[in-house]
Copies of this chain bind each other. A is one copy, B any other.
Amino acid sequence: MIKAALSVLLVLAALSSTFAKYIPKTGKRIPQTLSRGWGDQLIWAQTYEEGLYWSRSRNKPLMVLFHLEDCPHSLALKKVFSEDNELQRTLDEDFVVLNLVYETTDKHLSPDGQYVPRILFVDPTMTVRADINGRYSNRMYAYEPSDIKLLLSNMQKAKKLLKSEL
Contact = CB atoms under 8 A, between A and B. Distances in A.
Contacts of A92: 22, 24
Each complex incorporates copies of this chain amounting to: 2
A21 B102 contact: no
Interface in A32-68: 32-35, 39-41, 43-44, 46-50, 53
Interface in A65-106: 83, 85, 88-89, 92, 100-105
* Chain A facing B: main interface SS: loop
B83 A46 contact: no
Interface of A: 20-24, 28-29, 31-35, 39-41, 43-44, 46-50, 53, 83, 85, 88-89, 92, 100-105
Nearest to A20: B85
Residue with the greatest number of chain B CB neighbours at <10 A, chosen from A29, A48, A100, A102: A102
A4 to B, nearest CB: 29
